[in-house]
Amino acid sequence: MQFIFQDQAIHLPERDPGAVRQFMEQINKALNENGLVFSHFLVSGMPYYGDIYSLVDEYWNKELPVEIVGITEEEWLSEAKREILGYVGRAAGILQELSQTLYSGESSPAIWRQMSDLSEGMEYLLKIFSKTRILSNPDPIISGIQSVSVQLVQALEARDLVLLADLITYEILPLFQQIKERLTAEEGTDVNG
């Protein structure tokens, strides 16, 4: 499989996970040496944000140009902030509706999918806030996410609809608002904008 990296064609000879991991380690090392971090792939000019293992599985036998995109850490942090702000903004309306549905006692496969998505979203937020310097003091956000995540798992395991609705209403939505306020305050932008 051919990749384009820093205007050079690089061949990935094998698709086994060990070879793919080693390939990305070499790419990340080269990016870091140039003050960059991995951002995403471009497949035939279209952004691809999945991991390299999925990319290789999907495009291994296809003759498509796959470019590796690196950006500065500041650009990555700015992009991550925009993504998080977008996520918590979109999630707020969905979660308000979901909590009302849970309070009404409705339990359907779609509800449990949404709860699974919420759990995954919380894991993603924890990972970002724990492993980056996206905020100057992320500890209150990290502990809030950890606390809510533990309670969320317990409520999901118990299938306690009222507790899930309460967690959304009184813990998760205020936490998302706090995340929004902190990110926008450190960015110097309007919280409502």
Q: Which residues contact 17 (CB under 8 A, 6 or more apart)?
A: 53
**Shared-domain flag, residues 88 and 20:** no
Please report which confidence band the pLDDT of residue 61 belongs to, taking 50, 70 and 90 as the band edges: confident
pLDDT at residue 191 in the model:
41
When pLDDT is averaged across residues 46-59 and rounded to a whole number, the result is 90
Question: Smallest Cα–Cα separation from 52: which of 120, 5, 121, 118?
Answer: 5
**Shared-domain flag, residues 103 and 16:** no
Question: Smallest Cα–Cα separation from 35: which of 72, 3, 68?
Answer: 72
**Shared-domain flag, residues 108 and 174:** yes
Q: Residue 1 to residues 9, 10, 26, 168: CA-CA distances in angstroms?
A: 10, 8, 16, 45
Q: Given a cut of 50, is residue 193 above it in pLDDT?
A: no
When pLDDT is averaged across residues 53-77 and rounded to a whole number, the result is 90
Q: Which domain holds residue 22?
A: 2-64
Q: What is the pLDDT of residues 132-168, one digit of tens each?
A: 888 989 999 999 999 999 999 999 999 999 999 999 9
Residue type at position 77 = L
In this prediction the pTM is: 0.75
The gap from C-alpha 42 to its chain's centroid, in whole angstroms, comes to 18
Q: Given a cut of 50, is residue 88 above it in pLDDT?
A: yes
Q: How many domains does the chain have?
A: 2
When pLDDT is averaged across residues 40-59 and rounded to a whole number, the result is 90
Mean pLDDT of the chain: 90
Distance CA 19, CA 13 (A): 8
**Shared-domain flag, residues 35 and 100:** no
